[in-house]
Amino acid sequence: MKNIAIFASGNGSNAQKIIDHFKGNDQVSVKFILCNKPGAGVFNIAEKEGIPSVLINREDFYKSDNYVVLLKEAGIDLVVLAGFLWKVPANLIEAFPNRIINIHPALLPKYGGKGMYGHFVHEAVVAAREQESGITIHYVNEHYDEGAPILQEKCVLSENDTPEDVARKVQALEHQWFPIIVERLLTTL
């Protein structure tokens, strides 16, 4: 059995796609959904899917090993950041070397780093009149968006695309590829 923990901060559409992908697979379990935003939509997904959820406490997250202990005791094999908006601290990264991955809604290294999340990314891409955008799935290190890349996929943009149009095109790539990459990585662990 391979065990996944998903970290999210928002609606959880990527979490839902990953959960759906492994339904019927008795070798993979989504053990926890952890979120730092009270009332986030991902909590509704956890409840609907019968997956234990955890509201992350900032003090504990950055000043204790409580979440490392929780994940280790649950036998988590892969930590998946799916729209998680806090920086993962060094103790968690050290406890799960090459076992934490993230999806970024742009073609890193462009449009990454502090402040580059959600609609801010797509607004910057449109402002720069980029002709393409896409996704980057990467390992997580102690800096935002600088971990080793795992996959990049592109989408073509038109000059009339709004940030919302870009978000739609990018999200389609996320939903298509993130579950596949999670499954592919689990086979290597």
Ligand X SMILES: NCC(=O)N[C@@H]1O[C@H](COP(=O)([O-])[O-])[C@@H](O)[C@H]1O
Cite the annotated binding site by residue number. Answer: 12-14, 58, 102
Q: Which two tokens stand for residue 189?
A: 């662990």
**How far is CA 165 from each of CA 105, 119, 122, 150, 176, rounded to the nearest angstrom?**
13, 11, 9, 25, 17
Q: Which does 140 bind (CB under 5 to 8 A by kind): ligand X, ligand LMY7XDAE, none?
A: ligand LMY7XDAE
By CB under 6 A, what part of segment 9-68 binds ligand LMY7XDAE? none
Footprint of ligand X on this chain (CB under 6 A)? 8, 10-15, 82-83, 103-105, 116-118, 121, 171, 174
Helix H or strand E segment including 11: none
**Measured distance CA(94)–CA(91) in Å, rounded:** 5
Active site residue 104: yes
The amino acid occupying position 45 is: I
Q: Round to whole Å and give the CA distance between 150 and 155.
A: 17
- By CB under 6 A, residue 125 contacts ligand LMY7XDAE: no
Asked whether position 104 contacts ligand LMY7XDAE by CB under 6 A, the answer is yes
Given 104, 119, 143, 175, the catalytic residue? 104
What token pair was written down for 34? 């952890």
- Candidates 16-24, 110-118, 124-132, 156-164; binding stretch for ligand LMY7XDAE (CB under 6 A): 110-118
For ligand X, which is the closer residue by CB, 77 or 136?
136
The bridge status of strand 132-139 relative to strand 53-55 is: unpaired
- Residues acting as catalytic residues: 104
